[in-house]
Structure 1
Amino acid sequence: MTATPAQSHTPSVPRAHRPRRRLPRTPAPLRDTLTLVGLPLLAALALPAAFAGGGTRRWFGGRAESQRAEAQAAKDAAAAAFYELDTAQRDLRISIETITAVDDSPAARRAVADFDALGRRIDEASHRYIDAVDAHDLDRDDLEASVASRARAELTAAKEELGRVKQELDGFADGLGPLLGKAETQLARLAPAVERARQALLAASEALDSSRSSGLTADDLAARLAALSPELTKLNQGAGRHGVPETLERAERVTREAVAVRVEAERLPERAAEIDHRLVSLRTRAQALTTRSEQVEPILSELRRRFTAACWQDLQHVPDIAAENVRQAETKLAEARTARDAQRWPDATALLSTVRALLNTTDEAVSAAGDRLHRLNAVQKDPQQEIDRTRFALRDAQRLAMSGRNTPDPRHAGPLDEAVSRLDRAIAGLEGRHPDYWHFLTETEAIRRTAAGVVGRIREERGAGH
């Protein structure tokens, strides 16, 4: 509210409580005379004075006094409405400032514009009230009844206008509820969020100091923690400088990063011990694979001697691959040891993962040669076991395909019939002087996969039907 009349800050004293005008003080000789002559003479002297002195306004201005009182009451009511509107506007301005400090959305900007428009309406109503107050001096002795009546009407109209604007202001305030609630929620989160960030940074610093005390440099963690120092400075400067949303986001980000540094710093001794253990374990495994890979060549010699080329040709390069993989693994192990000594933990971890992958590949290749000889020996000795196993899988799939049906679904019967034919051809391939046992084994495996696929589709279709 832009202006406040002086009369409103010092409300007029009601007529009943206004001090009466004092009559001229009676000289001392006259007082003495009045005392001597007694009460009858005093009454006789006072009666003419009543007509000539202060009693004249009450005698001639009874209606004016009534109008003055009504005008004064209207003035007091208007002043109350003015102060009520002024208080409501001040309270609402605080709410608007709270919203703008937090929210820059289109809805918040609209609220600010609407509040400014309401402010102009408030100024107009206030000026009307002030003009009405300034236009009439209700304390004048010669106030006429018509003037008092006009003052009462203008003050009453000003009060009603103030009341209407107050209603608009109240309605606007009610509509601010969601925006104000959101802003107050963010403000309530601000101080705890900043404090959490400070505590997280402190905990990260303490964890880092603890790790360093055990002989670990943790330079990368120290660099990450140092990078958060400017963010802490901005947090300490406050939301008044950087804005509430930005400060909240910064506090949450600093908390996340500081917690990550703390967790890694606390785990650093354990991580170092784990890397040391993996270095020893993988070196032992590489040595064991070197010994096992030396046994591949005798296995290949036996395969070449007893079985057709198709049974072992894909294993020809296993010894060379195993030797090369082990050599690379040992090189990477040495690099991992160097990285560990330099406390480059991510590099050491990555190198050890590469070593493990190389050794896994070597292990599979070396094992494949021994497994091939074992399976070929078994099928050469008794192929019937593999045949029975495959036929059982086919019959199981056929029974499921016929379950609840007079004729099987062609989508199921077709693959199964083809699988039966493939099995017959595989069995026939075992006849002759030099049977291809490896082809027989791979074919029976493929047939069993086909049967399993049909079973899976049937169950899926029936499950979907239910």
Structure 2
Amino acid sequence: MVASEQVFPDRRIGAVWEPVRARCYAAAGAYLDFTDELDAAEAAGTPIADGQARADALVRQLNDAARGVDDFYNAHRAGLAEAATVRASVPQLLTHVRAEAEQVLTAAASSGFTSYPSISAGVRRLNEALLTASSSDPGTSVAAAREAANTVQQATAELSNALAQAPSRATAAANAIASVTTRLAAVRNRAGALGPAYSALLREFSAASSADLTNNERESRRGMDAADEALVGARVAAADRDPETALDLTATAREYLAEAEQLVDAVTRRLELLREVRTDPEAQARTVRFRLRDAQMLAVDRGLVAEWGSVLDAQAERLDRITAGLTGRHPDYWAYVTELGTVAEFIAGVVERIRKQASEK
């Protein structure tokens, strides 16, 4: 019982046992009281009133208490046995995980990689876990001792894994630095087209078509400079035999480069897109109209015209208004594309709801 309460407190086996135990104590108390009365009556030579009936009732009470113990044991036998086994195994578990931990700590100390952040952090975590485990007493707190053993085991595995990966870190860092260096050069080369592309946007299209791209050149340059700075730091760390820091810095450089690439590509792709739209403005609208017709046919096919027909018809009118808005010497082609995209997204949402509604019928 004690083992179950210590190992599996969430099962609350003590609360289940309490009424059974109370019946046993009550029956034992009644038995002792009755035997005292019998002894006193025998010594005095006087009979006990309703003696046989009281004896029969006491036997039933004792049998009921015994049956309660049997029922409790049969119902919880497996759990009690499991708890006892676990409780008995915790001291051996602590001894085992401590021995494994000491082996890994010894390997780390002699590895030549103690300066690596992953190794130094792993050693620190494992020593802290061992300190906690050493203060755990499985005799008084099995659950805490098991948790401490599990923490030691996990910290041991993490340090062991870091030691296994450490020899390949230098090569990985060198490869990462080379890869990011190449990528940075490529982004700088592509950035050379950003300025001319932005100038072309201003010349060929309305100012509104590129208003959101005004700061892209400056921000992309800032991102490339930040990537370059991180890359320099990575090279320094690699030279200082700290490949893990070098890898972290190359990852930072990649993040800056990804942002810079998006800023550069946003300008050049905007110019390409607007030129395509200017050449054939109806091409984008035709694509959206085609999706609209598909959605209308789906509504008919699923028998949901009453619910969605007018909604989709309204999108056809909306498309007419959008295409009619392309007027003047420099139409706002970007607003045109953006509005068409909004309609296309709305139609896609309607299609999804039609399919869901039809599946629920």
What TM-score do the two structures reach when normalised by structure 2? 0.73
* Number of aligned positions between the proteins: 330
Output aligned runs, 1:239-278, within 5 Å: 239-240=138-139, 242-278=140-176
3-state secondary structure, aligned to 2:277: helix
Asked if structure 2 preserves the Cα contact closer than 8 Å seen for 1:294 and 1:319, the reply is: no
Structure with bigger RCO (C-alpha 8 Å, 6+ apart): 2
Partner Cα distance (2:214, 2:7) in 1: 72
Task: Name the amino acid aligned to 1:269.
Answer: P
Task: Name the amino acid aligned to 2:138.
Answer: A
Partner residue in 2 for 1:401: 299
Asked if structure 2 preserves the Cα contact closer than 8 Å seen for 1:200 and 1:259, the reply is: no
Partner residue in 2 for 1:87: none
- Which of 447, 451, 458 lines up with 2:343 in the alignment? 447
- Tell me how far 1:173 sits from its aligned partner: 6.2
- Which of 212, 226, 237 lines up with 2:112 in the alignment? 212
Partner residue in 2 for 1:421: 317
Q: Residue 230 in 1 paired to residue 131 in 2?
A: yes
Partner Cα distance (1:404, 1:103) in 2: 55
- Tell me how far 1:188 sits from its aligned partner: 4.2
Partner Cα distance (1:444, 1:169) in 2: 81
Percent identity over paired residues:
28
CA deviations 1:158-190 (Å, max 9, x no partner) are xxxxxx8x9899668646733743542323432
- Which of 185, 201, 214 lines up with 1:303 in the alignment? 201
CA deviations 1:23-55 (Å, max 9, x no partner) are xxxxxxxxxxxxxxxxxxxxxxxxxxxxxxxxx
Task: Name the amino acid aligned to 1:297.
Answer: G
Output aligned runs, 1:277-356, within 5 Å: 277-338=175-236, 341=240, 343=242, 345=244, 351-356=249-254
3-state secondary structure, aligned to 1:212: coil
Q: 1:335 to 1:112 in 2, by over 3 A?
A: farther
Task: Name the amino acid aligned to 2:123.
Answer: A
Task: Name the amino acid aligned to 1:460.
Answer: K
Q: 1:463 to 1:269 in 2, by over 3 A?
A: farther
- Tell me how far 1:311 sits from its aligned partner: 2.3
CA deviations 1:347-367 (Å, max 9, x no partner) are 655544433222112111111
Task: Name the amino acid aligned to 1:223.
Answer: R
3-state secondary structure, aligned to 2:360: helix
Asked if structure 1 preserves the Cα contact closer than 8 Å seen for 2:122 and 2:158, the reply is: no
Task: Name the amino acid aligned to 2:163.
Answer: A
Q: 1:192 to 1:423 in 2, by over 3 A?
A: same
Q: Residue 186 in 1 paired to residue 86 in 2?
A: yes
Output aligned runs, 1:15-414, within 5 Å: 106-107=14-15, 174=70, 177=73, 178=76, 180-205=80-105, 207-209=107-109, 211-212=111-112, 218-231=119-132, 233-234=134-135, 239-240=138-139, 242-338=140-236, 341=240, 343=242, 345=244, 351-405=249-303, 408-410=305-307, 412-414=308-310
Asked if structure 2 preserves the Cα contact closer than 8 Å seen for 1:208 and 1:221, the reply is: no
Asked if structure 2 preserves the Cα contact closer than 8 Å seen for 1:204 and 1:258, the reply is: yes
**Larger radius of gyration between Structure 1 and Structure 2:** 1
- Tell me how far 1:228 sits from its aligned partner: 3.5
CA deviations 1:231-290 (Å, max 9, x no partner) are 45447xx634x5433332322222122222222222233345434433332232222212
Partner Cα distance (1:428, 1:396) in 2: 23
Partner residue in 2 for 1:13: none
Asked if structure 2 preserves the Cα contact closer than 8 Å seen for 1:310 and 1:436, the reply is: yes
Q: 1:381 to 1:265 in 2, by over 3 A?
A: same
Task: Name the amino acid aligned to 1:204.
Answer: V
Task: Name the amino acid aligned to 1:181.
Answer: A
- Which of 434, 443, 450 lines up with 2:330 in the alignment? 434
Asked if structure 2 preserves the Cα contact closer than 8 Å seen for 1:279 and 1:333, the reply is: yes
Task: Name the amino acid aligned to 1:310.
Answer: A
Asked if structure 2 preserves the Cα contact closer than 8 Å seen for 1:286 and 1:330, the reply is: yes
Partner Cα distance (2:345, 2:353) in 1: 12
Partner residue in 2 for 1:460: 356
- Tell me how far 1:323 sits from its aligned partner: 0.8
Q: 1:457 to 1:293 in 2, by over 3 A?
A: same
Q: 1:301 to 1:97 in 2, by over 3 A?
A: closer
The two structures, once aligned, show a CA RMSD in angstroms of 4.1
Asked if structure 2 preserves the Cα contact closer than 8 Å seen for 1:225 and 1:258, the reply is: yes
Partner Cα distance (2:322, 2:360) in 1: 36
What TM-score do the two structures reach when normalised by structure 1? 0.59
| Unmatched 5+ stretches in structure 2 | 37-58
Q: 1:175 to 1:281 in 2, by over 3 A?
A: same
Q: 1:260 to 1:239 in 2, by over 3 A?
A: same
Partner Cα distance (1:175, 1:446) in 2: 69
Q: 1:172 to 1:438 in 2, by over 3 A?
A: closer
Task: Name the amino acid aligned to 2:314.
Answer: E
